[in-house]
Every structure is written in C-alpha cells, then in structure tokens.
Amino acid sequence: MKVAGFGFREGATANDLAAALALTGHRPDGLASVAAKAETPAFRALSAKMNLPVIALPEEALRGTSTLTSSDRILARFGTGSLAEAAALLGACQGGDTATARLLGPRVVTADGLATAAIAERLTP
C-alpha cells in the first residue's frame, strides 16, 4: 500500500495538491495529512477526484517522526521535519510503528511552494 502525505499552505487548491502529487511520479492508494489539513475543501476535492480515501492524522502523532528532510518552520509547528513525509509514513503504517513503512524518496515541492508531497509504502501486509 502506497500513501501520499501532504503539507500545504492555506491558499493551496486541489490543483496545487495534484501538482505536488504528480511530482512524486506515483499513484497512491490513499492520501494523508494532519487532520486540520485533511478536512479542507482542497484536500477533500483531490480525494474525491482521485476516488482515494483520506487518512486524517492527529497532530500529536506526527511529533518525533523521523523524516528525510527538515524545515525549521515545520519542526517548530509540528515537531517533525517534514509534514508531508511524516504524514506519508504514518498513513502507510496506519498509525503504528513507522518502521513498518518506508519513504520512497524525499518530499517534493511545487514551484510556487504552496504544496509538498511524499510517498511512503507499507513494508508489511
């Protein structure tokens, strides 16, 4: 199972999220982000357009998740280096031990910086 994790700014649209996902080069089985972002119209629109489930993660679950990249702003706000990478990992392992999932690469960022995406794959069935 592959899960796309997202981080994005308030003004991001479903098209911005789709552009970030396209940069990963993968077709995921689900879309994940912190609950507040997963409930936005843009995120829900992408989910509906792709007919994929939304994995809304509690903010506290992200804290301490090890990521390949790090943003000081995201680290201060969420306690992890990359919201997209942490969401992908936690979504892929269904909130369990992140050792049961792996990132397929570092997060990607849209040219305008509005959205980031990362893909993680569950290692165990």
Could you read off the pLDDT tens digit of each residue along the chain, which spans 125 residues? Answer: 999 999 999 999 999 999 999 999 999 999 999 999 999 999 999 999 999 999 999 999 999 999 999 999 999 999 999 999 999 999 999 766 767 899 999 999 999 999 999 999 998 76
CB 61 within 8 A of CB 28: no
Q: How far is CA 88 from CA 42, 84, 103, in A?
A: 18, 6, 7
Count how many domains the chain has.
Answer: 1
Full domain range(s) for residue 40: 2-122
Rounded to two decimals, the pTM is 0.94
* DSSP 8-state secondary structure symbol assigned to residue 53: -
Looking up residue 34, the CATH number of its domain turns out to be: 3.30.420.180
